[in-house]
Amino acid sequence: LCLGSNLGDRKDLIEWGVKELERNGITVTARSSLYETEPVDYEEQPWFLNCVIQGATRLPVGRLLATLKGIEAGAGRTENVRFGPRRLDIDILLYGDEVITEGPVIVPHPRLNERRFALIPLTEIAPDLTDPRDGRLFSEILSGLDEGKKVLKST
């Protein structure tokens, strides 16, 4: 899962989100550092604070998505502008080694291999993880991307 926030107290919102994941049946097994990331797609907004967590859950993927949307809403997220500012955003990057191409959840996340703000923290916690679609290491995918938007480890 990739958590991000660019409104309010970003760090507190991410911490709250991680606690809510735990309260809702998702056991956090690994967590990346926090990263300051330049906005992508809709650029006229504050920078994001992002992290990636690895978790274990018994929730089916559709129920997981509904749970994440509920957590986002609990943090005060409203849908105003696509890719716009948000208090808390939680994306499903991967669901084990499953490939799901239809329905409300597509995994791996359809833009994961283009997003340094997700790949950098993902490869921090799982450097040997491979894309279940083609077997490539995410670390190799990351090394092949242009520098693009800034992703800086937060202090």
Residues designated catalytic: 77, 86, 89, 91
What are the E-state strand segments in the chain?
Answer: 2-5, 26-31, 35-37, 48-57, 89-91, 151-153
Of 78, 83, 79, 77, give the one whose Cα is nearest residue 14: 77
Residue 14 has phi, psi (to 5 degrees) of -65, -45
Whose tokens are 């490539």? That residue is: 136
Of 75, 82, 92, give the one whose Cα is nearest residue 7: 75
Q: Token pair of 148, please?
A: 């693009």
Backbone CA torsion sign across 129, 135, 141, 143: positive
